[in-house]
Amino acid sequence: MKKLARYLVVLVLVLLLAGWLLLSVFDANQLKKPVLGWLNEHTDINLTVGNLEFNPLHPYTLLAEDVQLGEWFRARQVYVQLATLSPLSGHTRIATLDIIDAKLQLDNATELALPDNLANITVDELNSKNVSLSWQGWEAKGADLTIRHWQPRREGNWQWWSDFTLNGQLRQLTHPNLAMAQLTFNGQLARQQLQLTRLQSRLFDGLFDGGLTFDLPGQEVTLNAPSFSHNRLQFDQLPQLASGWTLLLNRAQLEEVSITSPGLTSNGIKGELRYLEWQAGGLPEARGKWHADEAVLDWLRLGEHSGELLSSREQLGLTLNGKAYEGTFSSELRWLPQQARLDIDTLELQGNKFVWLPDLYWPTPDVRLHKLNISQAELLSLDDALPLSILGGKLFVADLAWSAGQWRPLSEQARLEARWDEVAFNSLIARQGQAKARLNDTDLTIEQLTTEALDGQLSVSGHIGRYPPYLGKVRLEGQSLALRPLSRWLQGDRGFSGTVDINAALSGELQQANSWQGQLSIDGRDIFIEKVGLDTWLKTRLAEDYRRAKAVDPALAALDLNQSDGFIYQAKLAGPVNQGRWQLDGSAVQSVRHLLALRGDLDFAGGWQLQLGVINDQGCRELAVHLADTWRAPSLTLQQPRLATPCKPWYQGAVPYPDAGLPGRLIDAVRKLGDGSSAER
């Protein structure tokens, strides 16, 4: 018996050794093909595995390599260690699940249909190493994660957003409007909300540190006490929030942040955004304050400044103070996007130096200006179409609005007041001026406009209608106005100089010259005109025979005038204006040797009916000049009327006969001079 027992023990040991050796050399890959074939046939999971490592001595442990699940999951290695497997009860508990060098494309993911004995799956710990993930435009790379206490399947249904705890890091996270790198985080998924107690990352060349809550079912993202440091935010277009989503920020801190976008560029931003709630399709509700080194909004450039933000979904409120254009500014603004309107409640500028460029434009179609106060400002235009400069400018505007291409009042207090040390338009210069104007629903009233202009004094007052036919009334007074600057500005074929006084009181429709009524007078002194040789022309006509009225070609007369320059000692043109016709009876022009009197009228619509007379020292007319028809195509008639003895004066006005004029009868004196010159020759 002892011998038999010994043989039995030896046999058992041999069988155990043989079984151990058999299991040790067991190759799980021999079962891979039939098992995967059965799974793919009965579950539609489309699973492929490159290599399996499995030891029956450790039946709850499996290592799979080169794993692919459909078109959405690939992994170099997947390690599974089961804690419990209860096929009859349908409960499976995974102690450890490691995924290494994997790539997930969740947009292509399909539902995994598993048998009923896998109705409940719990994962104690899931670890990933170097995992890449893409979903709805988001790209995550280099994910090293640890997820604990996760039940992704319950009662036969997948619940990927079930609760778990989370910590780990990402090498990179990108979106079309976002780029983050070197992320570290910890938190949990609770009630289908990803709650990261702390998230740290590189963000737009800077640092981000804060808490984050991502509520997918509620479509809401919340940043709690985020800190942005040295970030350089760059956008090809301003960010847009996806429809239905809400972004919340609580107590955000900014430190040396810069923004670069097509509409706005700002650098050196420091501040606090106390609260922000932004929903797609509207302005955010927000409150905050900041300080920035500079900001550029389209053509508007600000230097060092501080600001406060108070925004609702209907309007964006801003308070800005700081430096701009070598001066200072202070403003309170409101932007109402639904009306595309900018309300400037207060804007104060002091000591600014503005430069106007040809491509400047006002981007807002509707502006309401409640209070504008500018002092000691300068403006230089680099636009050839607007050759303007202003020194020492002061401007006050109250309750005016710009909309539909015109100004309109916001209240009965709508007004404008201005002062300037110097205004230059091309070669015209006005100094030490001031203006006051009011605007109502129907009229623009100029209460006062006085300035030093053309080396003299100029004053304008009156009113004009804002709408056709632009009915108005104006009074203009100019004293000792120099003509040479006006000549340089006009750059005409004939230069001129001299001094004039002008007084006008006119009323009527602006665009209808035949409606003008009032008084107009122009007094000139020492006037020089190039290529208007009036004395020579008159002397030649006096020497010719015009005893009968004779029509003269205006072009030939103009050609004769062009042969020399003219000098006028004194000119007085005055008379009433009736239906756009300036009645010049009693007017006269004194040249060096001749006195030319005027009667008739000048039509501001472009015509004239004038009788001109060359007057001798007795006040009698010796040469009659008749101008008719239009300015551009006039008719000219000359006649030497027969004089009685004694002659009847034709002009007895205030302009005297010239000291150098010929005495007695002009025709006789001119012809005698002509005969003497011929005899000498």
End-to-end CA distance of the chain: 181
On the question of a cis peptide bond just before residue 646, with omega within 30 degrees of 0, the verdict is yes
Q: What is the mean pLDDT of residues 12-19?
A: 38
pLDDT tens-digit readout, 475-531: 999 999 999 999 999 988 899 999 999 999 999 999 999 999 999 999 999 999 999
**What is the per-residue pLDDT for 567?**
96
Return the biggest CA–CA distance within the chain.
Answer: 189
- Bridge pairing between strands 406-409 and 366-381: unpaired
Collapsing DSSP states into helix, strand and coil, what is residue 109? coil
- Between 81-85, 119-123, 599-603, the lowest mean confidence (pLDDT) is in 81-85
Residue found under tokens 């109402």: 336
- Between 343-347, 635-639, 672-676, the lowest mean confidence (pLDDT) is in 672-676
Structure tokens at 227: 């800190």
Structure tokens at 640: 């030497």
291 membership: H or E segment, kind and range: strand 285-292
Collapsing DSSP states into helix, strand and coil, what is residue 398? strand
- Bridge pairing between strands 220-229 and 206-215: antiparallel
Question: CB–CB of 319/308 below 8 Å?
Answer: yes
pLDDT at position 361 over 70: yes
Cα gap 202→221, rounded to integer Å? 19
Confidence of residue 406 (pLDDT cuts 50, 70, 90): confident
483 phi and psi angles, rounded to 5 deg: -90, -20
Q: Can you list the positions of beta strands (E) in 35-177?
A: 47-53, 61-69, 73-86, 91-105, 120-135, 138-154, 157-158, 164-175
Find the angle CA(341)-CA(294)-CA(285) to the nearest 5 degrees.
Answer: 45
Question: CB–CB of 597/582 below 8 Å?
Answer: no
**What is the per-residue pLDDT for 15?**
38
240: closest CA among 177, 330, 193? 177
**What is the per-residue pLDDT for 311?**
94
430: closest CA among 421, 440, 439, 438? 421
Confidence of residue 594 (pLDDT cuts 50, 70, 90): very high
Percent of the chain with pLDDT strictly greater than 90: 67
| Amino acid present at 452 | E
Cα gap 606→591, rounded to integer Å? 26
Most confident of 67-81, 353-367, 602-616: 602-616
408 phi and psi angles, rounded to 5 deg: -150, 155
pLDDT at position 153 over 90: no
Residue 33 or residue 642, greater confidence: 642
Q: Cα 508 to the chain's mean position, in Å?
A: 39
Q: What is the mean pLDDT of residues 555-581?
A: 94
Structure tokens at 590: 């004194």
Is 0.75 surpassed by the pTM of this model? Answer: yes
Cα gap 10→13, rounded to integer Å? 5
pLDDT tens-digit readout, 368-382: 999 999 999 999 999
Torsion of CA 115, 120, 124, 125, to 10 degrees: 40
Question: CB–CB of 15/21 below 8 Å?
Answer: no
Question: CB–CB of 247/276 below 8 Å?
Answer: yes
Confidence of residue 438 (pLDDT cuts 50, 70, 90): very high
pLDDT at position 615 over 70: yes
**What is the per-residue pLDDT for 37?**
57
pLDDT at position 90 over 80: no
Domain boundaries defined on the chain: 35-174, 176-324, 531-680
Q: How many residues does the chain have?
A: 681
**What is the per-residue pLDDT for 4?**
33
- Bridge pairing between strands 415-425 and 388-403: antiparallel
Structure tokens at 136: 């709805």
pLDDT averaged over every residue in the chain:
88
Enter the DSSP assignment of 107.
G
Cα gap 107→133, rounded to integer Å? 10
Beta-carbon contacts of residue 34 (< 8 Å; ≥ 6 apart): none
Q: What is the mean pLDDT of residues 629-644?
A: 93
pLDDT at position 273 over 90: yes
Cα gap 147→187, rounded to integer Å? 10
